Amino acid sequence: MSAHVWRVQLPCDTLPPYDHVNAYVVAQGGVALVIDPGSDRPEAQSLLQAALEEAQARLVKGIALTHTHPDHVDGVPRLLQFEVGRNGQAPPVFVHASEAGNLPKAWKVTLLPYDRVLTVGDVTVTALHTPGHSPGHLSFVVGAPDGDEVEAALVGDLAAATGSVWVGLPEGDVSAYLSSLERVAAIGAPVLGPGHGALITEPEARLGELAAHRLDREAQILAALEEGSADAAVITRRVYPDHPEAVLAMAERSVLAHLVKLMREMKVVHLGSDERGPYALRR
């Protein structure tokens, strides 16, 4: 991916259209930081170990997690076991405080405070809090050894090269997601490593597209409420008229996340006490 970053596509069980998670190896000077080793399949671990060998990483000094959804953490136990086998001790697992409660107590969990900088040899890896997909979602900015250049940003489920990413209740926050897109865009990284799919080679344009997609969806929800007050299920069917019933439940959770943002902005009111509504435009 760059001079000190390797992308490893690990086959795993995840949401369509993907069948893999992208793990990343940041390595320099014989040590490595592994980000999101999310598959426990033996073939996935073989791929990851081959990448460590290619990167000449004799020691994994840490495992960093963008967030704690299963398709990003399921391979951690195997990697810990591998590292104990070759170096005699398990590396720490770095995670945001909001996500730490989802991890086993037996792991050596280390919380990453705001903008914590990790070092991998002479390379820096800065943890940015980029919530939206999940409350404690992190992105990792890799800095070159000279300190003057950003090599890449590893953004987990903040972005994807095609399509959109999941932002829905109970963990999703649309307002936070839009702010996180702006924060990563301001870094000026030449390439982004997403949690799934291809690398993002035009970051500024792609992050702008993802923000525009969310704002377009918001406009569609407001237009749906122009037809009259409705609960979340009805709003979802108005916004997604051609979607099969099987996917409408997930779509509804995304619509609810947008409605929370619109209520904060005083554009929509919640009628009654049921989370699912009904909702109406504020007149």
> What would the DSSP string read from start to end of 40-92?
--HHHHHHHHHHHHHTT-SEEEEEE-S---HHHHTTHHHHHHHHHHHHSSPPP
Mean pLDDT along residues 187-203: 97
Mean pLDDT along residues 82-100: 96
pLDDT at 242: 83
pLDDT band at 240 (very low <50, low <70, confident <90, very high): very high
pLDDT at 218: 97
Q: What contacts 209, CB < 8 A, 6 or more positions away?
A: none
Beta carbons of 199 and 159 less than 8 angstroms apart? no
pLDDT at 41: 95
Q: Does pLDDT of 139 surpass 80?
A: yes
Q: What percent of the chain has pLDDT over 90?
A: 88
Q: What percent of the chain has pLDDT over 70?
A: 100
pLDDT at 255: 97
The type of residue at 228 is G
pLDDT averaged over the chain?
95
pLDDT at 145: 86
For residue 275, give Cα distances in angstroms to 5, 23, 156. 43, 36, 29
Query: Which pair of tokens denotes residue 215?
Result: 């704002």
Mean pLDDT along residues 157-164: 96
**Domains in the chain and their CATH numbers?**
5-201 (3.60.15.10), 226-281 (no CATH)
Mean pLDDT along residues 214-238: 96
Beta carbons of 75 and 44 less than 8 angstroms apart? yes
